[in-house]
A and B are shown apart, each in its own frame.
Chain A
Amino acid sequence: MTDLRPYAGTPTKEWLYKAGFALSIIAFALIAFFLYTSNIEIDEGTPELQRSLVALMWISIALFILVATPTTILGVRRHQAFKERTKHFRKSTLNTKFKTFDAVNYTFMTLFMILCIYPVIYVLAGSFNQGADYAAGGIYFLPRLFTFENYKVVLTNSGLWQGYWVTISRTVVGTLSALVFTSIVAYAMSRPNLRYKKTFYWINIFTMFFSGGLIPFFLIIRSIGLYDNFLVYIIPALYSVYHMIIFSAFFRTISDELHEAALVDGANEFRIYWQIYMPLSKPVIATVALWLAIGHWNAYFDTMIFTNSKELQTLQYFLLKAIQTATLTEGMPAEMMLRLSPKTISLAAIIVSMIPVLFFFPFVRKNFQSGIMIGSLKG
């Protein structure tokens, strides 16, 4: 039986290659960026700025050569190993003919990918363009009149950093606490020897069928003192029946013998949950954590409904305000307003708030597979 994973056991160091690959892409992007900026018209461009951009370009070229050479050597070796390993089953994949249907299908997929990616490029180009010039339209891929000023305005705004801080803390605290709370309940619900199991089950399920709606919920939040309190982001999100069901479906697949052995050894149920079941449930934890974290990071309606003070504004809510009401240009001197426009500034704000997602996206991609497995387990 041959290992079907093509890269398994390849002699080259996998992580080294991947890190080198990522670094060379970054260095290449930097080269392109500085090459572009040192050759074009820059708004408020002084000779020093131009000179430092040229210097940065040379530095990134040096960096690229330094990183790309060993990576290429590693890559060549890796590719040879890959070819060697897949020799025996390559024939079967090659004999499928490429037909008209495939051509249409591949074209459609490519177009849809462009549709997903292009808006980001457009925003990136606009955010580096001077505001007054942007208003003339026609900026598709590259900025016409280059400027850093939009970013300067965004990054010096204290509301943005406050929003970042609130969003990061609610994402971290909210995700961790909800994971623990939900999995505790899910463990109990997955045990066959739980007393009154039916009652617990129906009390939980009923809430999925019928809810009181927004206003009673809002009034409850007000009455228990969570209104305009940081905890309003954490406590109402502690538990979700849906996540509980997914967790306990996974717990049920863990062998019961482990549980019995631990009982014989004198561990109590909570210890079994914490020291045996949780370490064995990493895939489901990763998946639910991903969902929870995305939910926390992207939520803005709870800020709108449950908070009032500026200190509790999340990043998304700050951004919404910036897009809808041009809060970022408030109180700006008139001569600056001639060059800047709220439109390009909000584009810069969009990019700045997207950076963490762009950064984490390649890392969480791995969790998709496990997420799919758990999703199908439930269905």
Chain B
Amino acid sequence: MNTNPGMTVYKIDGTQTNHILEEPKKKWTTNDWILLAMASLSIAFLAVFAYAPLYGLVLAFQAGDGYLNILTAINNAPFVGLDNFRDFLTDPDFRTIMENTLGLNILQLLINFPAPIIFAILMSELLHDRFKKTVQTVTFFPHFISWVIFGGIFLSLLDFETGIVNTLLVDLGIINGPVDILGGEQYFWWLIIITSIIKGLGWGSVIYVAAISGIPNDLYEAAKMDGANRFQKIVHITIPSIAPTIVLFFILSIAGLLNNGIEHLWVFQNANNITRSEVLDTFIYKYGIPQWRYSYATAIGMMKSIISMFLLIGSNTVLKKITGKGIY
């Protein structure tokens, strides 16, 4: 049976049907329904936990502080327009918070983003497989313990009176008296940078190690024939080969420019370093949940989401133009 559309079909008596046959619609089988049901599970989940909160953004334009049920809040709270946004922009803390959020993140982009790449390259240059494996295992370890434990360990290491860093430096005569690293606001950013390097370097390099191990060996052998030294091999073979992976993760880190790991910061934040440790995430939490200022915190969160989305789209477009590769 010919079912192609637009085909003339001859009947058995030689006459010809002239009308164009339509493509018959594929019937819905049981399996189609099963697949649809399976995929719909995600819709059900996202409707509640991703799209319903989007509807909740209406709250940002209302004075809906203190309502516990979101529907009563949206229905009953008075509409105030952009007041919540204006309140935040004129907040006396606004400048510090934006400075901290952006400053900390840009510093992390400059230091914590390239660090795993360099680490992976250094690791690929190790000669002994046993040693390489040991390095990988040991440096993975901090990733597996929580920020509470890791932070707790560092709180005791850096303690003003008893911590090893202070006692050792004083004993060695490098500093005159103990330094209050945990309470000093000028140290906070570096504290965050260094702790996240120790915790994340091994794990962050996994993806680059995998990318490097996928580079064919012939390339290196050919380069050796041409007399390339090790540094030249790294610059001309290793880095160009892992460039797509680097681009991908760069886009993602640009998009996260307003996100600070709140689980990380929360452990180290205290009343003494608050002027350097208060970022958007902690601010939203503090106003939103313990103080019940839902509308205000929603407005700040909404600004954050919108800027993040534009950062993602923007960085993706720019990098697509430059390197021809993006994430979508």
Contact = CB atoms under 8 A, between A and B. Distances in A.
A8 interface: no
Given A123-B153, A236-B49, 13 more contacts: A105-B126, A106-B126, A112-B135, A122-B156, A122-B157, A139-B164, A187-B38, A213-B298, A223-B68, A297-B146, A353-B149, A372-B210, A375-B206
Contacts of A218: 288-289
Contact of A108 (B32, B70, B122, B155): B122
A116 B136 CA distance: 11
B46 interface: yes
Interface of B: 28, 30-32, 34-36, 38-39, 41-43, 45-46, 48-57, 59, 67-71, 73, 122-123, 125-127, 131, 134-149, 151-157, 159, 161-164, 166-168, 171, 198, 201-202, 206-207, 209-211, 214, 230, 244-245, 248, 262-263, 266-267, 281, 284-285, 288-289, 294, 297-298, 301-302, 304-306, 309, 312-313, 328
Contacts of A91: none
Contact of B152 (A195, A319, A365): A319
A220 B297 contact: no
Given A115-B198, A210-B305, A269 B210 contact: no
A224 B48 contact: yes
A153 interface: no
Q: Which 3 A-B pairs have the closest CB atoms?
A: A213-B301, A212-B53, A216-B56
| Interface footprint category on A | 35 or more
B172 to A, nearest CB: 12
B39, B145, B206, B309 pick with most chain A CB within 10 angstroms:
B39
A58 interface: no
B149 A188 contact: no
B327 to A, nearest CB: 10
Contacts, number: 275
B263 A301 contact: yes
Contact of B162 (A98, A113, A134): A134
B207 A189 contact: no
A354 interface: yes
Contacts of A297: 146
A194 B35 contact: yes
Contact of A93 (B51, B59, B127, B161): B127
A196 B36 contact: yes
Contact of A300 (B68, B138, B166, B263): B263
Contacts of A300: 146-148, 263
Given A273-B38, A347-B156, A109 B210 contact: no
B288 A140 contact: no
Contacts of B31: 193, 263, 268-269
* Interface of B, helix, strand, loop or mixed by DSSP: helix
A340 to B, nearest CB: 14
B207 A372 contact: yes
A15 interface: no
Contacts of B297: 214-215
A73 interface: no
Nearest to B230: A101
Contact of A106 (B41, B131, B167): B131
B138 A193 contact: no
Nearest to B266: A301
Interface stretch (A21-29, A37-45, A61-69, A200-208): A200-208
A373 B210 contact: yes
A253 interface: no
B50 A212 contact: yes
B155 A323 contact: yes
Most chain A CB neighbours (cut-off 10 Å) among B53, B68, B139: B53
B148 A200 contact: no
A195 B245 contact: no
A189 B39 contact: yes
